[in-house]
Structure 1
Amino acid sequence: MSAVPNQAGSWSTLETPLSEPIMETLGLLGFDAMTPVQAGAIPLFMKNKDVVVEAVTGSGKTLAFVIPIIEKLTRREDPLKKHEIGALIITPTRELAQQIHSVFSTFIDDHPKKDQLTLGLFIGGTTTLAQDITTFNQSCPRILIGTPGRLEELLTRSQKIVNTKELEVLVMDEADRLLDMGFSQQLSRIIAQLPKQRRTGLFSATMTDAISELVRAGLRNPVRIVVKVEDLTSKGSVQRTPASLDINYIVCDPEQKLIQLVRLLQAELNDMEGARKFIVYFATCACVDYFYKLLKQIGDLKPFSLHSLHGQMDTKRRTATYTNFTQLPPAVPAVLLCTDVASRGLDIPDVDYVIQIDPPQDPKAFTHRCGRAARAGRKGKATVFLIRGREETYIEFLKLRKIPLERGYYRLEDGSVCDNVLKNDDAEDEKITTSEVEDASVAPFIATLRAIVKKDRDMHDRGMKAFVSWARAYSKHEASFIFRLKDVDLGRVATGYGLLKVQKCPN
């Protein structure tokens, strides 16, 4: 295991100096110093070592492979020939591939040797394999970036037009998610097409047994780099979220979640130094669709630019949403409603606050969601809503996984807050540590939601679909000893959705 400095130095301290064009671009971007990931990985890549990097989200992993790839290809004695490629970057999602492509472009567009650094983005969805083959033939890219399915097709079903014999670097980004999403066979077939004399970088936020198998299959004596975050409040312990990120939880009843969301957004907007860019996570695609349409009609949220993003959207809509949200000026208050499609890898700039309406099915996703804020050392905040009762044990569950949370307060209509912790031990269930808040403004708020749903049959149908999809997702929660559908008052959940009746739910 390689020791990585806690305080990463300036780029000029690297043992192998970076080229002038790279240094100029870093200066223009304002990157004066390396992050620990970059300080650990770049020298090893430059010395022709394989690397396995485990680091918290938002730690600067992309530049840790973008810079060495550019340096290696521009320092080749023999330039690559027509169909030869020098680097291959595999990512789990199209959005992440597009993002990596844009980072490369930033360094390559004005590079004096950019003819040796042509890029190819191959992600499927909007193009056929035949179209991508034509594009490859015409542009002759040296650096391929893409998703496993399309890259595998390009390497195995295109009459071998892609020549991999001179490949210098293979990068698998978000490797744990590549495996979680079932791409192990495609990865194996891609690796089989590549020369053994190459450098491989495997980047991941978490290490699993499946990744260990992949390391054994695809890397040669790799150096493992682990970048951990010290918990400043208890020296010596380690946490899995950035130190610049404040995470809290708010406990309430199911029908109070949405009004708490609205009040939290309002409170930040009214604070001169409050958050302006928010990501709000829901359990399912149907929930995102429904609440996006519902919240757009809530008067208190008119100052916010609302956007929605999930995996069932077609590629063009997803790309348009991502572009629109990321290109908004930092001062414009905006909310992106999404599922876990945006919990990993996507570098959405200027995100100040992450709110989780529904805790994720996979506990590992909790860290990745929160990590959309506080990227690259920026300050950030995150809040998760928990239903009063058994869900409260989720806090201890997360603490055991090195994720520290503070308790947040229930927000009242007048802008004040209420500490709803039980003041004594009278609770019938020892899991319940929170008293019910008698909030008189919840009923009128629900009435407003119901009025919106009543006047539009499509909204009614979307609401029903969202509620059933939520219940189905809840019943399949990986932390099923905490999240048990039988412990939830489904009537109150349905009320929180603005529904008039409870749909029959799965067992």
Structure 2
Amino acid sequence: MTPSNLDEHSEEETEEKIKQFHELGLDDRILKAIAKLGWLEPTLIQEKTIPLILNGKDVLIRARTGSGKTGAFVIPLIQKILSNKEIHQHQQISGLILSPSKELCKQIHEVCTNLTIKCSRDIKFVDISAQLDLVTQQPLLIEKPDIIIGTPGRVLQHLKAKNLYLKKTIETLIIDEADLIFSFGYENEIKALLSYLPIVYQAILASATLSEDVLSLKKLVLHNPAILKLEEPPLAPPSQLTHYTLTAEENDKATILYTLLKLSLIRGKCIIFVNTVDRCYKLKLFLEQFGIPTCVLNSELPASSRCRAVTQFNTGTYDIIIASDEKALDEPHTTNQKNGKRRKDKESGVSRGIDFQFVSNVINFDFPLDINAYIHRAGRTARGKNEGTALSFVAVRERPMLNEIEEELKKLYDQENLFKTYQFKLSEVEGFRYRARDAWKAVTRIAVREARLKEIKQEVLNCDKLKSYFEDNPKDLQSLRQDKALHTVRLQPHLRDVPEYIVPSSLKMIASGIRHNKRKFNRKASIGTSAVKSKYQARANNPLIALKLFKK
């Protein structure tokens, strides 16, 4: 921690031994919940933040994704409520947590659930970010839960509808991902919302950066705050996060990805990033032809679908998720341009903040458009103390951007040759190239369009809001269910298997092991191959095994 160059009070980094959770004055029920989560000791930002919040100080938290910011403000909020309940007998809304997207609200709700597992009868909280009718959520608010979680727009709607009254009860306001609040278009909502709060309350801002928007928000809500600024790179150190590049033109990317996944040269859970929504579905349809299951996440999906995709990925239903990381997601003001043909949900964000759990590998199938996009993507892995890898496919035309990103990261890490070259010999996998080329061509624009229409139709059928409509208009439901067959990519069962004759001789031993060993979830990151014979076991954790095996 370093002193801030701002006027407010700041905390300085000390060389003292890290305090344990039980030394922070927390309730035993919270400590038991923390132990159940497997949190052995507080992160640096938690150690510094929790005492300040418990002492009633306004705090501005600045730390990179994965540093434990959510726990840093949820733990003391729960502690304060438990302490107040010993004094006040009546039920009241004490805490308000605002976040820019529904996905992040859902994650905060899950953290609250996990941390109150031993005091669930005493602490009540509700997430109102879902786009349901206000009347539907009104009964939840009448019960006056201790903590309200929601987006600024949704909370303001309930305040205007008089479903919420916070003027006399609210004690703590928390704004998560504060650097995105204004960029997601919530500036007016925040200013209007503050008029519904009491004159005196404790405020906490949590952010990955100290942008101009954060400084503007700080002036609106904070009073003489402590500014906790972790002077650390935006990504995990090279000892924890390994960066690879692989030179590949458009026609070769699909072949390489197919080979890496089908031969399990990549271990663990993966996020594959592309630059457009259409590319999400093209890649999904491509991999489906080879029996590789994936799920898709992009800003055009309804909030329920996005949350479901994240949940399925985190729980292991899918080991691979394909995410569109459009520039518009990093600069949300541009999403409402008149020329845009497709409506995006401003409360959605793919690369920022979403808690993808235990991600071993990030694969940039499409190279990111700028340094911020790369940092946001690579930041999905190597979170906490877990290891991770980031593999980027780089075409010749993308080389200048790679050089620019590499120069910026050198300044952050003060290290040369941060990016390691992953040398993949396409000549060794000619059989894979032949299959991949035909499968990639089979995914036409019509196939992509029809796949997206099929997903939309499925969402319509599953939509709770339309159930009553379909009950009154059964013919409309029947016409949807009996819609004409969609143009889909023809699946060929034999493509699911990898015949031995197309596997390079250097990898046949590994391919044989794959056939006899069911793939298991592995939280340890690796881009390489798992050894199946004793002479390879010594190198089992080396992510460059595949490179060595490819060499003659």
In the TM superposition, what whole-angstrom CA distance separates every residue of 1:96-148 from its partner, at most 9, and x where no partner exists?
1111101111122321xx444201111132x11221223212x3211011112
Q: Does the residue aligned with 2:403 lie in a helix, a strand or coil?
A: helix
Partner residue of 1:264? 260
Residue range with higher mean Cα deviation, 166-175 or 356-365: 356-365
Does the 8 A contact of 1:245 with 1:382 survive in 2? Answer: yes
State which of 285, 288, 296 in structure 2 corresponds to 1:296.
Answer: 288
- Alpha-carbon separation, structure 1, partners of 2:12 and 2:261: 41
Q: Does the residue aligned with 1:354 lie in a helix, a strand or coil?
A: strand
Does the 8 A contact of 2:166 with 2:198 survive in 1? Answer: no
State which of 434, 437, 453 in structure 1 corresponds to 2:443.
Answer: 453
The structure-2 alpha-carbon separation of the partners of 1:104 and 1:444, relative to structure 1 and needing over 3 Å to count, comes to: closer
- Alpha-carbon separation, structure 2, partners of 1:380 and 1:345: 17
Partner residue of 1:318? 306
The structure-2 alpha-carbon separation of the partners of 1:29 and 1:109, relative to structure 1 and needing over 3 Å to count, comes to: closer
For the pair 1:287 / 2:279, whether they are aligned, the reply is: yes
The structure-2 alpha-carbon separation of the partners of 1:212 and 1:197, relative to structure 1 and needing over 3 Å to count, comes to: same
After the TM superposition, which residues 418-437 of structure 1 pair with which residues of structure 2 at under 5 Å, given as runs? none
- Alpha-carbon separation, structure 1, partners of 2:408 and 2:15: 24
For the pair 1:159 / 2:162, whether they are aligned, the reply is: yes
- Alpha-carbon separation, structure 2, partners of 1:460 and 1:144: 39
Amino acid at match of 1:453: V
Per the TM alignment, residue 386 of structure 1 is displaced from its structure 2 partner at its CA by 2.2
The structure-2 alpha-carbon separation of the partners of 1:250 and 1:179, relative to structure 1 and needing over 3 Å to count, comes to: farther
Counting aligned pairs with the same residue, the percent is: 25
State which of 313, 316, 322 in structure 2 corresponds to 1:337.
Answer: 322
Q: Does the residue aligned with 1:381 lie in a helix, a strand or coil?
A: strand
Per the TM alignment, residue 251 of structure 1 is displaced from its structure 2 partner at its CA by 2.6
- Alpha-carbon separation, structure 2, partners of 1:351 and 1:60: 16
State which of 197, 217, 220 in structure 2 corresponds to 1:217.
Answer: 220
The structure-2 alpha-carbon separation of the partners of 1:327 and 1:165, relative to structure 1 and needing over 3 Å to count, comes to: same
Does the 8 A contact of 1:279 with 1:353 survive in 2? Answer: yes
Amino acid at match of 2:204: G
- Alpha-carbon separation, structure 1, partners of 2:451 and 2:17: 50
For the pair 1:60 / 2:107, whether they are aligned, the reply is: no
Q: Does the residue aligned with 2:100 lie in a helix, a strand or coil?
A: coil
Per the TM alignment, residue 5 of structure 1 is displaced from its structure 2 partner at its CA by 4.9
Per the TM alignment, residue 265 of structure 1 is displaced from its structure 2 partner at its CA by 2.9
Q: Does the residue aligned with 1:352 lie in a helix, a strand or coil?
A: strand
After the TM superposition, which residues 41-56 of structure 1 pair with which residues of structure 2 at under 5 Å, given as runs? 41-56=49-64
Partner residue of 1:9? 18
- Alpha-carbon separation, structure 2, partners of 1:361 and 1:387: 13
State which of 262, 268, 274 in structure 2 corresponds to 1:276.
Answer: 268
Partner residue of 2:130? 124
After the TM superposition, which residues 386-405 of structure 1 pair with which residues of structure 2 at under 5 Å, given as runs? 386-389=394-397, 391-400=399-408, 402=411, 405=418
Does the 8 A contact of 2:297 with 2:324 survive in 1? Answer: yes
Per the TM alignment, residue 39 of structure 1 is displaced from its structure 2 partner at its CA by 1.1
For the pair 1:106 / 2:114, whether they are aligned, the reply is: yes
The structure-2 alpha-carbon separation of the partners of 1:122 and 1:460, relative to structure 1 and needing over 3 Å to count, comes to: closer
Does the 8 A contact of 1:80 with 1:142 survive in 2? Answer: no
Does the 8 A contact of 1:286 with 1:462 survive in 2? Answer: no
- Alpha-carbon separation, structure 1, partners of 2:161 and 2:27: 35
The structure-2 alpha-carbon separation of the partners of 1:106 and 1:293, relative to structure 1 and needing over 3 Å to count, comes to: same
Partner residue of 2:209? 206
Amino acid at match of 2:425: L
For the pair 1:408 / 2:458, whether they are aligned, the reply is: no
Does the 8 A contact of 2:364 with 2:393 survive in 1? Answer: yes
Per the TM alignment, residue 367 of structure 1 is displaced from its structure 2 partner at its CA by 1.6
Does the 8 A contact of 1:386 with 1:392 survive in 2? Answer: no
Per the TM alignment, residue 266 of structure 1 is displaced from its structure 2 partner at its CA by 4.1
Q: Does the residue aligned with 2:359 lie in a helix, a strand or coil?
A: coil
Does the 8 A contact of 1:4 with 1:37 survive in 2? Answer: no
Per the TM alignment, residue 308 of structure 1 is displaced from its structure 2 partner at its CA by 1.0
- Alpha-carbon separation, structure 1, partners of 2:427 and 2:268: 21
In the TM superposition, what whole-angstrom CA distance separates every residue of 1:10-57 from its partner, at most 9, and x where no partner exists?
42574x511111111112222121111101111111111111111111
Partner residue of 1:484? none
Q: Does the residue aligned with 1:180 lie in a helix, a strand or coil?
A: coil
Partner residue of 1:251? 247
Q: CA RMSD for the aligned pairs?
A: 2.7
Amino acid at match of 2:124: T
Per the TM alignment, residue 415 of structure 1 is displaced from its structure 2 partner at its CA by 6.5
In the TM superposition, what whole-angstrom CA distance separates every residue of 1:318-375 from its partner, at most 9, and x where no partner exists?
232222221117xxx7110012433222222221001122234453232222121111
* TM-score (normalised: structure 2): 0.69
Amino acid at match of 2:443: V
Partner residue of 1:307? 295
- Alpha-carbon separation, structure 2, partners of 1:393 and 1:289: 25
- Alpha-carbon separation, structure 1, partners of 2:231 and 2:365: 28
The total of aligned residue pairs comes to 413
Residue range with higher mean Cα deviation, 313-322 or 43-52: 313-322
Does the 8 A contact of 2:67 with 2:383 survive in 1? Answer: yes
Q: Does the residue aligned with 2:294 lie in a helix, a strand or coil?
A: strand
Amino acid at match of 2:205: L
Q: Does the residue aligned with 1:359 lie in a helix, a strand or coil?
A: coil
Partner residue of 1:146? 150
For the pair 1:79 / 2:88, whether they are aligned, the reply is: yes
Does the 8 A contact of 1:173 with 1:202 survive in 2? Answer: yes
Does the 8 A contact of 2:254 with 2:436 survive in 1? Answer: no
Q: Does the residue aligned with 2:188 lie in a helix, a strand or coil?
A: helix
Partner residue of 1:356? 364
Q: Does the residue aligned with 1:57 lie in a helix, a strand or coil?
A: coil
- Alpha-carbon separation, structure 2, partners of 1:400 and 1:257: 26
Does the 8 A contact of 1:80 with 1:116 survive in 2? Answer: no
Q: Does the residue aligned with 1:321 lie in a helix, a strand or coil?
A: helix
The structure-2 alpha-carbon separation of the partners of 1:362 and 1:199, relative to structure 1 and needing over 3 Å to count, comes to: farther
Partner residue of 2:174? 171
Does the 8 A contact of 2:33 with 2:116 survive in 1? Answer: no
- Alpha-carbon separation, structure 1, partners of 2:193 and 2:221: 10
Amino acid at match of 1:260: I
Partner residue of 1:327? 315
- Alpha-carbon separation, structure 2, partners of 1:8 and 1:286: 51
Gaps of 5+ in 2: 1-9, 326-348, 453-552
Q: Does the residue aligned with 1:280 lie in a helix, a strand or coil?
A: strand
Q: Does the residue aligned with 1:75 lie in a helix, a strand or coil?
A: helix
Partner residue of 1:478? none
Does the 8 A contact of 2:287 with 2:293 survive in 1? Answer: no
Does the 8 A contact of 2:273 with 2:363 survive in 1? Answer: yes
The structure-2 alpha-carbon separation of the partners of 1:18 and 1:185, relative to structure 1 and needing over 3 Å to count, comes to: same
Per the TM alignment, residue 240 of structure 1 is displaced from its structure 2 partner at its CA by 1.9
